[in-house]
């Protein structure tokens, strides 16, 4: 996909979480690949696509680097203003309808800064980019989801606060973990089936991208985000 099309302004503050560990600047020049280009991208040997994806207005400098799909990171210096500036991410293309999937799981391990405003999140799309499912596993600073609250749901091994909205281009279903996490696994398929079968918010759509990365609103002075491991498995 060319860029993230969710373009929301700053909506609501979220409490900072204390269990985050800072990470010293990674030497991007020593990585297998790095890019400071707005849409810089790289395909790994195991079929993941890394994407710098600086898409929001008022963005500053950002450099993505990667050694593999499970060893990559971002240095970002975005001003302390509202509005999402970027979503650097790694993605795996699935290409199967929900009813054709018997499993879809992912694991992650990240090191994120204690400063700044951002979320670490999955961004899952149908193949036509009409529907977007965001799974926030941690978040920091003055950030908030699009749409209205739909209550809580325990799915995929975690409990989430659920929101539903529309950004003018596509439907957005946001799931925010009730307890922040920098490492873990998510059973994604039950979440997709809950949206389809329990809520009726979409039909038997074909899942396109499963992305994971950092939706950054501000990182003034330059902050580092590191993915220590990441994988998506499905059948």
Structure confidence by residue, pLDDT tens digits, 208-225:
999 999 999 999 999 999
- At residue 30, the pLDDT reads 83
Sign of CA dihedral 9, 13, 14, 15: positive
Distance CA 21, CA 23 (A): 7
- At residue 70, the pLDDT reads 96
Which residues share a beta bridge with 49? 43, 91
Which residues share a beta bridge with 148? 164
Please answer whether residues 219 and 76 qualify as being in contact, where contact means their C-beta atoms are separated by less than 8 angstroms: yes
Which residues share a beta bridge with 149? 163
Report the chain's mean pLDDT, rounded to a whole number.
90
DSSP assigned state of 195: I
Distance CA 148, CA 107 (A): 28
- At residue 34, the pLDDT reads 97
Please answer whether residues 217 and 83 qualify as being in contact, where contact means their C-beta atoms are separated by less than 8 angstroms: yes
pTM for this model (two decimals): 0.88
What CATH number should be reported for the domain whose range is 28-234?
2.60.120.180
Map out the domains of the chain as residue ranges. 28-234
Q: Each residue of 38-84: pLDDT tens digit?
A: 999 999 999 999 999 999 999 999 999 999 999 999 999 999 999 99
Distance CA 80, CA 217 (A): 8
pLDDT classification of 166: cutoffs 50, 70, 90: very high
């Amino acid at each position: 996909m060319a860029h993230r099309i969710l373009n929301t302004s700053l909506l609501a503050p979220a409490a900072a979480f204390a269990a985050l560990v800072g990470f010293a600047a990674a030497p991007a020049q020593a990585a297998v690949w790095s890019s400071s280009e707005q849409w810089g991208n790289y395909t790994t040997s195991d079929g993941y696509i890394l994407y710098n994806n600086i898409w929001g207005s008022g963005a500053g400098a950002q450099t993505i680097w990667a050694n593999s799909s499970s060893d990559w990171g971002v240095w970002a210096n975005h001003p302390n203003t509202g509005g999402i500036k970027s979503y650097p991410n790694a993605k795996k293309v699935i290409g199967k309808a929900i009813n054709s999937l018997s499993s879809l799981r992912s694991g992650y391990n990240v090191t994120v800064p204690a400063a700044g405003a951002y979320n670490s999140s999955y961004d899952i799309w149908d193949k036509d980019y009409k529907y977007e499912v965001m799974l926030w596993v941690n978040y920091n600073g003055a950030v908030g989801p699009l749409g209205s609250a739909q209550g809580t749901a325990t799915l995929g091994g975690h409990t989430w606060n659920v929101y539903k909205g529309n950004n003018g281009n596509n439907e957005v279903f946001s799931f925010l973990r009730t307890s922040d996490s920098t490492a873990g696994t998510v059973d994604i398929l039950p979440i997709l089936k809950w949206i389809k079968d329990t809520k009726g918010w979409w039909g038997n759509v074909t899942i396109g991208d499963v992305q994971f990365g950092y939706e950054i609103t501000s990182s003034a002075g330059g902050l580092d985000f590191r993915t220590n491991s990441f994988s998506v498995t499905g059948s």
